[in-house]
Amino acid sequence: MLESAEILGLIAAACTTSSFVPQVYKTWKTRNVAGISLIMYFVLFIGVVLWLLYGIVINSLSVILANSITGLLVLIILILRIRYGLQHRK
């Protein structure tokens, strides 16, 4: 059985990870990326990959799970930001 600390971690992970889903949806739908910082998503992606490595090293299920999915979602937003950002400039 999971410890209560790990349950708290998993709920936290579920929140921070799922939070990026509405941003993916919104950006996908509206293609409006003018207000979104490219540098934020670039640095965030590097950070999330490092958190994933940290999770593997300390063997924390919450950290590994959260950062695998978050990394994917942040990467999607980063790609959409670059793609629609370039279209916007044309």
- Give contact residues for a copy of itself (rule: CB under 8 A): 4-5, 8-9, 11-23, 25-27, 30, 32-37, 39-44, 46-48, 50-51, 53-54, 57-58, 62
Contact 88, 38 (CB under 8 A): no
Q: Work out how close the CB of 80 gets to a copy of itself at its nearest, in angstroms, rounded to a whole number.
A: 10
**Please, how many CA atoms are within 13 Å of residue 67, restricted to the half-sphere of its CB?**
19
Q: Work out how close the CB of 28 gets to a copy of itself at its nearest, in angstroms, rounded to a whole number.
A: 11
Q: If you compute the radius of gyration of the chain from its CA atoms, what whole number of angstroms results?
A: 15
Instruction: Pick the closer one to a copy of itself by CB: 11 or 86.
Output: 11
Phi and psi at residue 55, to the nearest 5°: -60, -40
